[in-house]
Amino acid sequence: MSADGQNPRTPNLRTLAQEQADRPLTAYARDYTDGEATGWHHHGRAQLLYATRGVMRVATREYNFTVPPGRALWVPAAMPHAVAVEGPLAMRALFFREDAAVLGEGRALVLAVSPLLRELILAACAEPLEWDVQGRGGHLAALIAEEVARAPQLPFGLPAPRDARLRRLADALAADPGRDWTLEEWAQRCGGSARTLARLFQAETGMGFARWRQALRLTEAAALLAGGATPARAAAAVGYASAPAFGAAFRAAFGLTPGEARLIRPGSSP
């Protein structure tokens, strides 16, 4: 994912008012327009990023995430990341103080958002910054922590290559996942030999090129389905000529059929 030329190794530290409030959990709401990008940055508190509308594309040093509606991304404190926006995006974020961070794995995670958790996130956004610890705000925060801790984790992360040639290839495939070029053809476009690119893919992502491309295609298809595309349209858009093959690969990756994934809307159960 492009990060506007910034180096993810030297991200900006951003501190919002929500992170300075003396509360275990605070909420932040912002709407983005098509084409906006945050650049590489990090926060002092852990975040839960959720979009009520639109698809979030979030890069970390190790993974790229495509997060459709009905899903959320847990970003640990101090983790460098960059958000790119495609189409209108309504983001609702929660900040967790260190003593209230309910997911301590130290890695970014995509979570399924239950109808209850969605409504809790929206309710938290309507609370004042210094909400009443003994009142409604305190009850919301306690219930949010419970719901986030028990939310199912989903395999939506794609290992991010670091080599400049692989990044060019990855960006081009993300823009057109249905393009069926061989690795030799990609090598001519991106530089290096096919053998070199194959070796780098394995070393940097732990996957061969074919497996990595399939994972990218399925992740992009999941985003299309979340946006209302039919399984047939999503399959064709990411390069699958066979609907049964697409269905089998999608189910193996995500544990549900493309039809089931399409029925998931913001606030519906996975």
5 lies in some domain: no
- The answer on 165 and 137 residing in a single domain is no
Which amino acid makes up residue 62?
E
269 lies in some domain: no
Q: Give residue 202's domain range.
A: 161-263
Helix (H), strand (E) at residue 263: helix 258-263
Q: How far apart are CA 187 and CA 196, in angstroms?
A: 9
Helix (H), strand (E) at residue 130: none
- The answer on 141 and 196 residing in a single domain is no
Tell me the CATH number at 91: 2.60.120.810
Residues in the chain: 270
Both tokens of 228, joined, read 């209302």
Residue 30 exposed, middle or buried by CB count within 10 Å (0-12, 13-18, 19+): exposed
pLDDT in tens, 230-268: 999 999 999 999 999 999 999 988 888 898 887 765 544
pLDDT in tens, 16-60: 888 889 999 999 999 998 888 889 999 999 999 998 888 888 999
How many independent structural domains does the chain possess? 2
Query: Which of 204, 108, 212, 215 has its CA nearest to residue 153?
Result: 108
What is the pTM (predicted TM-score) of this model?
0.83
Q: How far apart are CA 210 and CA 17, in angstroms?
A: 45
148 lies in some domain: yes
Rounded to whole angstroms, what are the CA distances from 9 to 13, 29, 40, 176? Answer: 12, 27, 9, 28
